[in-house]
Structure 1
Amino acid sequence: MTTPPIRLVLVDDHRMFRTGVKAELAEVSAAASGLRSVEFAGEAPDVDTAVAVVREQRPDVVLLDVHLPGGRGNGGVDVLHGCAGAQAASGEPVRFLALSVSDAAEDVIAVIRAGARGYVTKTISGTDLLTAIRRVADGDAVFSPRLAGFVLDAFGAAAGEIAEVDEELDRLSAREREVMRLIARGYQYKEVAKELFISVKTVETHVSSVLRKLQLSNRHELTAWAMGRRLL
């Protein structure tokens, strides 16, 4: 059975950038045979057009710039508020992935508070952007590694809320804790392997062990677990 493509709406106020993103995603999507492809359902250059297009087209994912003209002057946040409760044609909620030149903490936190599922910067490669879109479509939260810390700082538990003795954390070895922190921050397996000077296979083994010991199902749950303990 063929998996349907991810229906995507691209929101950015620069037409040439939209053209470039569409061309790049089309190229890497075509090259990644066997994986879920991307189908463009529409595009928009400003807040008001974006809300109308999302409501009409009901895409799976919206690739959203943070700074946009129109609306109430709050850019991508206005789009998120205007599309609150919107459903994709599949019946799932429309999911938003911020794609911006800005890596400012206030921008990251604002769009995540408004409902975005992730935030990546425009320095991302086409292949990694396609991976991020697929992950957001599947319900995961996705952040460029450096930006994950902003979210954890903003949404983590207040200091003193975590007990001095954490029985769940104590189940993990020192190496498993290192791997857990990087995975929860949004690092890919190969990035963890490079950071810790171990093989990708070893990373996979540690991740499986961490998820089993903590009784978690995926990296999204792992991120939430680590966030709640202010471990990153």
Structure 2
Amino acid sequence: MTEAITVVIVDDHSIFRSGLRADLDETLAVVGEAASVDEAVEVIVETQPGVVLLDVHLPGGAGGGGAEVLRRAAPQCPGTRFLALSVSDSAEDVVGVIRAGARGYITKGSSGAEVSRAVHAVADGDAVFSPRLAGFVLDAFGTAAGEQAEASDELDRLSAREREVMRLIARGFAYKEVAAELFISVKTVETHVSSVLRKLQLSSRHELTAWALERRLL
């Protein structure tokens, strides 16, 4: 017989925890429960479960809810995977907890069988989302990937030296400071800056700084 997957249920409503525990199938073994951020971190670190069923909104801690539990507990539990299970279906909640490290997000309208299947999928390394929530994640991470690809394409227009000059100028270095940092002449710095602005279709170092900040290059 396959060994049961150990589970910790984190939710601040005891009735929900009891009902969920009863609804999970026999292949899952609940080894702990928690109702707050601090309690959740303690229980998860102590039991090292295979999967944590994690509500997004929780009392305690620094107010970070399920995402805070992830940030504090996950580094101490390398073998544990986290599955968000919440009544909330807001894009902000979904994306926030996924960015923190959750492997999936399903709503509390899911049946016991659906939650059990999701736990197995997450334990196997898959990502699981309730159908209408998947679009939030695709939009958020697709956009991020697109922005990174765009920044990469734009940087490809610059030579290695031009990239070095661009980053220093964008950080507020004066031309003389850039020259000293890179062991080149001020005239060479000016030439590189003109080339960078032309290639990126910018008109000033202030626009260059804004461009670099938007693409998180600083």
Q: Per the shorter chain, which TM-score range?
A: 0.5 to 0.7
Aligned to 1:130: 116
What's the TM-score, normalizing by structure 2?
A: 0.65
2:48 aligned to 58, 61, 64, which one?
Answer: 58
1:49 Cα deviation from its structure 2 partner: 0.3
- Check 1:38–1:158 CA distance in 2 against 1; reply closer, same or farther (3 A cut): same
Query: What CA distance in whole angstroms lies between the structure 2 residues aligned with 1:81 and 1:93?
Result: 15
Of 135, 160, 182, 1:149 maps to 135
Q: Distance in 2 between matches of 1:160 and 1:98?
A: 27
Q: Equivalent residue of 2:18, what SS?
A: helix
Cα distance in 2 between the residues matched to 1:41 and 1:66: 20
Partner AA of 2:3 in structure 1: P
- RMSD (Å) for aligned C-alpha atoms: 1.6
Q: Tell me the equivalent position of 2:89.
A: 103
Please state whether the residue corresponding to 2:8 is helix, strand or coil: strand
Structure with higher helix content: 2
Write the mapping of 1:25-40 to structure 2, written as runs, cut at 5 A: 25=24, 29-30=25-26, 37-40=27-30
Q: Which runs of 4+ in 1 moved over 3 A?
A: 159-162
- Report how far residue 114 of structure 1 moved: 0.3
Cα shift at 1:125: 1.0
Contact 1:9 1:62 in 2 (8 A): yes
Q: Which structure would you say has the larger Rg?
A: 2
2:106 is matched by which residue type in structure 1? V
| Aligned residue type for 1:46 | S
For residue 74 of structure 1, report the CA deviation from its aligned partner: 1.2
CA distance in 2, matches of 1:66, 1:73: 11
Partners of 1:112 and 1:46 lie apart in 2 by 19
Alignment partner of 1:158 is 2:157: no
Counting matched residue pairs gives: 148
Partners of 2:12 and 2:75 in 1: CA distance: 24
What amino acid maps onto 1:4 in structure 2? E
Q: Where does 1:1-232 land on structure 2 (aligned, <5 Å)?
A: 2-25=1-24, 29-30=25-26, 37-87=27-77, 93-156=79-142, 157-158=145-146, 161=149
1:57 Cα deviation after fit: 0.4
> Once the 2 structures are TM-superposed, how far is the Cα of residue 60 of structure 1 from its aligned partner?
0.3
Superposed CA offset, 1:62-94 (max 9, x none): 00000000010011011001113233xxxx621
> Quick check: 2:48–2:79 contact (8 Å CA) kept in 1?
no
TM-score, normalised by the number of residues in structure 1: 0.61
- CA distance in 1 between counterparts of 2:36 and 2:87 reads 16
Aligned in 2, Cα 1:110/1:160: closer, same or farther, shift over 3 Å?
closer
Match of 2:176 in 1: none
Aligned equivalents of 2:148 and 2:2: distance in 1? 46
CA distance in 2, matches of 1:41, 1:71: 22
List runs of 5+ in structure 1 lacking aligned partners.
31-36, 163-232
In structure 1, distance between residues paired with 2:9 and 2:148: 42
Q: Deviations over 1:1-20 (max 9, x none)?
A: x3210000000000011000
Q: How many angstroms apart in 1 are the aligned matches of 2:82 and 2:70?
A: 8
Deviation at 1:160, TM superposition (A): 10
- Whole-angstrom distance in 1 between the partners of 2:119 and 2:141: 23
